[in-house]
Amino acid sequence: MKHRIVVLGAGYAGANAAGRLARRLRREDVEITLVNGDPEFVERVRMHQLASGQHLRPRPLRDLYADTGVQVRTARVTAVDVEGRTVDIDGGTLAYDTLVYALGSTIADHGVPGVAEHAHNVAGKQAALRLRARLSEVEPGGTVLIVGGGLTGIEAAAEIAEAHPDLEVAIAARGRVGGWLSDKAQRHLRRVLDRLGITVHDHTDITRVEPEGVVTGAGGRIRARVTVWTAGFTVHPIAAATALEVSGEGRIVVDAGMRSVSHPDVYAVGDAALAEGAGGKPLRMSCAAATPMAWLAADVIAARLTGREVPQTTIGYSVQCISLGRRDGIIQRVTADDQVTSTVITGRTAARIKEMICAGAAWTISHPTMMMPSRRRHLAVTGAAETGLLVRS
């Protein structure tokens, strides 16, 4: 009988894992099924572009995996039974011998009232399309407030301000917007935010979202026709409902080969996995981490199924890439354990590099045979919206 591999989720992690497994293993030996709720591969790192009104190239999963042997099932995952080795999906149940869990993440509201009812987000395609439609309805001069001063919030604010110059765009952060960046990067970020007319609310804690704005921790109000919530991510609760060992936030705890520490027939990659990176630090939720995690998991699975030597690698960071609209950006060099350095590229050059990285990240989905580098180097194809990574032997 063929060894049954089921991959849950077709984001950067799951899509790369499925394709790489198909090219590492023989069709006569394995059956690979990729389950995803959307029939297309969604470039999550471009959701701020989609929300701002841009059109993205459709990437149907069945076309991407044509002639690879990967079976694509368009369905929503409702439950996983790791003891019985089955997955419940809309309309049926799938049995597996090896499971690759890559269901990703969604926005975290941190218990703030009103987020679910009144805030938009850019965590997925449908959410970005809803925000896109809402922005088209706002009268000139209306305020769009981005809550969250991290990478997603900065990119969303800049993209919306550039695409909708008739709107007033503001961004609020509990700390300082972009405060983790180097001094040079922060100075450039402030110049761009000022050029785009974006109002910055630093050190502003949001305690409630209302239909016409937000309430701050100091008891004040920021009025807004549209509130966009980008203040962090959380994983889907499916894994925590199983017997898998998970962290306090519900991420599956894995070893150095992305294998569950409690169930050896389960691998987890991407945002759903709690994996150790360079310096012993957990890898952050990011599409940049997702691709090398997927490559590693696929190579480990293939090695174990074929009796080859199991690869030993450490994943670490290289750069953080931030788009500031279509013509500006920041490429911030970081150490392997994600500490910023003084090396920064800004402006149009950074924007071009960022675009190459985003395009490369999508390219790997249909070209998963690209080999992991064995020496420390930049991986342009894994930079995406969050961070660039390197992989070390």
DSSP 247: -
pLDDT in tens, 195-220: 999 999 999 999 999 999 999 999 99
Per-residue pLDDT tens over the stretch 125-142: 999 999 999 999 999 999
At residue 368 the predicted structure's pLDDT band, cuts being 50, 70 and 90, is low
Which pLDDT band, with edges at 50, 70 and 90, does 366 fall under? Answer: low
Fold matches, 3-106+233-392 and 109-229? yes
Q: What is the DSSP string of 56-85?
A: ----BHHHHTTTT-EEEEE--EEEEETTTT
Instruction: Examine the pLDDT at 385 and tell me if it is beyond 80.
Output: no
Give the relative orientation of helices 12-24 and 287-306 as an angle to the nearest 10 degrees.
30
386 with 314: CB under 8 angstroms? no
Mean pLDDT over residues 142-166, rounded? 98
To which CATH superfamily is domain 109-229 assigned? FAD/NAD(P)-binding domain (3.50.50.60)
Q: Band of the pLDDT at 364, cuts 50, 70, 90?
A: confident
Helices marked H in 106-209: 115-118, 125-137, 151-163, 183-195
Alpha-carbon Rg for the chain, nearest whole angstrom, is 21
| Dihedral sign (CA 214, 167, 44, 270) | negative
Which pLDDT value is given to residue 4? 98
pLDDT score of 363: 81
Domain map (residue ranges) of the chain: 3-106+233-392, 109-229
What is d(CA 109, CA 83) in angstroms, rounded to the nearest whole number? Answer: 32
> Letter for the amino acid at 248?
G
pLDDT at 375: 33
Report residue 362's pLDDT band, with 50, 70 and 90 as the boundaries: confident
User: 3-state DSSP: the chain helix, strand, coil percent, rounded to 5?
Assistant: 30, 30, 40
CATH architecture entry for 3-106+233-392: 3-Layer(bba) Sandwich (3.50)
Name which of 205, 168, 204, 173 is nearest 186 in CA terms.
173
Distances 319 to 57, 323, 331, 348 between C-alpha atoms, Å? 26, 13, 7, 17
Give per-residue pLDDT as tens, 269-310: 999 999 999 999 999 998 879 999 999 999 999 999 999 999
Given a contact cutoff of 8 angstroms between Cβ atoms, the answer to whether 269 and 293 are in contact is yes
Q: Mean of the pLDDT values across residues 312-331?
A: 94
- The pLDDT assigned to 123 comes to 94
